[in-house]
Structure 1
Amino acid sequence: MAFPLPRGITPSEIGFLAEMEMVTVVPRQRLEGLELLGGPIEPLVPPRRASLPLWLALLLKRQRRANIMPPSWLHPEPLNLILEVESQHPDYRDAFSPPPPLPGQPSIRDDGLAPTARPQYTPDGNRYYASPPFLPQNTAQTEGFSSRDPPALPFHWVEMGNMLLESASDDLVEPDQIRRLLKDLPATGGGGVALTGVGAMEVGEERGFLTGVVDNLRKIGASKEQARREQMAEQRANGAYDGAQDEEEEDYMEF
């Protein structure tokens, strides 16, 4: 018996997309450069740091050929600050903490500047705006983020934290405390519906429910419209039709 496909994207698919996030590694042995679909990988020379996709970093970690440096936000102190913001700050008590700024976007503290990200350009000259997982939000030496910026969770923080805790817990600082804080964050920020600062896993969890609600509302509206049309047809047949109802119908359809 075949089961219907789940609505939206599944957690395993979200985790697969998160494996393209770039992380910082410290190689333990030399490795020649690689030509991947996502771009070339520079040669690994110990003990020089390098940025690799998460899937490759986890593979080298399992082979004991590299250590993974945790992102700046995956430490007990930043996670405690984020948890405090979401639970005590009046602006984020029922919402998510602010996300990290995009490349070229002013800092959260720079209120006087317009919060507009600067476009980037491909080698062919085409303009585009970078978005996760193609942002340096999980590297140890994140460019474009100053130390005075408040800590912020990246788009794939749930998946990134779980994968690193599962496969590279010995590279993290106080992994048991980090695991506890990561469990507390969804319970704190999930009480409100917000779009700013929401993560990939949170979008995937709510997408199926919201699409079901929208479909049901559409069905309810369609049944009301059908009953309305049948009533108007009956009134026309009985000669009790009022032409003003056409204007009401047009207004209803525009709405």
Structure 2
Amino acid sequence: MAFPLPRGISPSEIEFISEMEMVTVVPRQRLEGLDLLSGPTEKLLPPQRATLPLWLAILLKRQRRVNIVPPYWLHPESLQIILQFETETREYTDAFSPPPRLPGQRRPGDDNRRNQPPPPRPKHTLDGERYHPSPPFLPQNTALTAGEESERDKEIALPYHWLEVGNMLLDAASDDLTEPDQIRRLLKDLREVRMSKMRKGVDILDTAATAGGGVALTGVGAMEIGEMRGFVAGVVEGLRKIGASREQARREQLAEEGPTQADAQDEDDDMEF
């Protein structure tokens, strides 16, 4: 007898999907572009930087053909800023830090046209059709260019696949990262802080289960949702059962007490009519 599959996506499947994220590499030898299902890749011409899918970058890294440039958020200073923001900011003591800004999205207070972000660049499929990439597969794990380094502090945020990308880069390209041991410790601290915030949302889940509505998960990553899916689903199902038993007990109590005075008055009015 086969066991039923769990609801949602498993952590291994989430990690497999995150391998489609784009990262920046510095090639060590020439390599022609490849025609993949996701589209053609760039030609690798040392020492020019190129953008490749994470799975291909890790494969070439293991073959010592490229070096992976860590994304702007995977630096000890950036992770430390995010960790302090998660723990010390009053507005986000029970919430999560905001996700990266989408292409074309303004920041609060950006009224000047010079500060407006450029419109998103379209891409093309193998058939030549144009399309715009959408979350979570946006260029949020690529390294910043020289002109974007000045905007680094304003753009520090955890992407959707931050945990998966960080762990895979630590395993496959730790020599390309700055202070990998400190990065590993900061990722662990961030994960514990954010998971504790999700566990504290039981009261919100109680309100959402009884009164309806939902729970805001803005800024939560894919692996965090996948790991907490079973816990949250179990809590909501248990709260619904408790609410149903309370409602059944209330109805039984009303049935035992008999008709109220208002119901008796309504019956007398019906008889007079």
State the TM-score bracket (shorter-chain normalisation).
0.7 to 0.9
The amino acid that maps onto 1:51 is T
Q: Does the 8 Å CA contact 1:24/1:68 hold for their aligned counterparts?
A: yes
Q: Deviations over 1:179-201 (max 9, x none)?
A: 11001101222232451211111
Which residue number in structure 2 is paired with residue 55 of structure 1?
55
Summarize the Cα distance change of 1:230–1:144 in structure 2 as closer, same or farther, 3 Å threshold: farther
The alignment-based identity, stated in percent, is: 65
Which residue number in structure 2 is paired with residue 25 of structure 1?
25
Summarize the Cα distance change of 1:111–1:92 in structure 2 as closer, same or farther, 3 Å threshold: farther
Moved over 3 A (4+): 1-4, 108-113, 118-129, 142-145, 213-232
Structure whose alpha-carbon radius of gyration is higher:
2
The amino acid that maps onto 1:160 is V
1:1-255 to 2 correspondence within 5 Å? Answer: 2-107=2-107, 110=110, 130-132=134-136, 134-141=137-144, 146-193=151-198, 195-218=217-240
More helix, by proportion: 2
Which residue number in structure 2 is paired with residue 249 of structure 1?
none
The amino acid that maps onto 2:16 is F
Q: Does the 8 Å CA contact 1:22/1:139 hold for their aligned counterparts?
A: yes
Q: Deviations over 1:4-44 (max 9, x none)?
A: 42332111111001100000001111111111111111211
Report how many aligned residue pairs link the two structures.
237
Secondary structure, in 3 states, of the residue corresponding to 1:192? helix
Could you tell me how far apart the structure 1 residues matched to 2:225 and 2:131 are? Answer: 27
Summarize the Cα distance change of 1:63–1:228 in structure 2 as closer, same or farther, 3 Å threshold: same
CA-atom RMSD, angstroms? Answer: 3.6
Q: Measure how far apart 1:222 and its partner are.
A: 6.3
Secondary structure, in 3 states, of the residue corresponding to 1:166? helix
Q: Deviations over 1:21-75 (max 9, x none)?
A: 0000011111111111111112111111000000000000011111100000101
Give structure 1 stretches of 5+ with no counterpart: 245-255
Could you tell me how far apart the structure 2 residues matched to 1:24 and 1:125 are? Answer: 25
The amino acid that maps onto 2:143 is A
Q: Measure how far apart 1:206 and its partner are.
A: 1.6
Summarize the Cα distance change of 1:151–1:6 in structure 2 as closer, same or farther, 3 Å threshold: same
Give structure 2 stretches of 5+ with no counterpart: 114-118, 199-215, 264-273
Give TM-score scaled by structure 1 length. Answer: 0.77
Segment of structure 1 superposing worse, 47-56 or 223-232: 223-232
Secondary structure, in 3 states, of the residue corresponding to 1:185? helix
Q: Measure how far apart 1:205 and its partner are.
A: 1.3
Q: Does the 8 Å CA contact 2:73/2:79 hold for their aligned counterparts?
A: yes
Q: Does the 8 Å CA contact 1:72/1:140 hold for their aligned counterparts?
A: yes
